[in-house]
Amino acid sequence: MTRVALIAHDEKKADLIDFVQQHEAQLADYELIGTGTTGQRLMETTDLEVDRQASGPLGGDLMIGGQIAEGRLDGLIFLRDPLTAQPHEPDVSALLRICDVHDTPLATNLSSAAFLLEGLKRKGES
């Protein structure tokens, strides 16, 4: 089964919720993983189940990074807030790096998230 992680910084959570609602039919076919607050908000606003890890600042980013390192994720949508410093920036950087190391598709904005989902859809059709 296709596994996708969903993460959003506080200022981007509403954008991720809107995006997930627009793509809910496709995402319903995937196993979804998310950090604590983001996962909770997605479950409250959609009919999707999200396997919630810890909150990002409490290690959730690293937990998802571990799954990437183990080859257990097919993609990561991480809507980052580029205008606000994050107290857990080293964890964020490590997560982005592990995606590069393991060639895991990574989307950090809405346009790339749409392309990531389109790529996963095409991969599933082949």
Query: Where in the sequence numbering do the catalytic residues fall?
Result: 61
Q: Does the annotation list 46 as a binding residue?
A: no
Q: Does the annotation list 56 as a binding residue?
A: yes
Q: Does the annotation list 39 as a binding residue?
A: no
Cβ–Cβ under 8 Å, residues 113 and 27: no
Q: Does the annotation list 37 as a binding residue?
A: yes
Q: Does the annotation list 102 as a binding residue?
A: no
Q: How far apart are CA 78 and CA 42, in angstroms?
A: 14
Identify the H or E element spanning 50.
strand 50-52
> Closest Cα to residue 108, out of 80, 75, 74?
80
Binding residue ranges for substrate: 9, 13, 35-38, 55-56, 88
Binding-site annotation, residues? 9, 13, 35-38, 55-56, 88
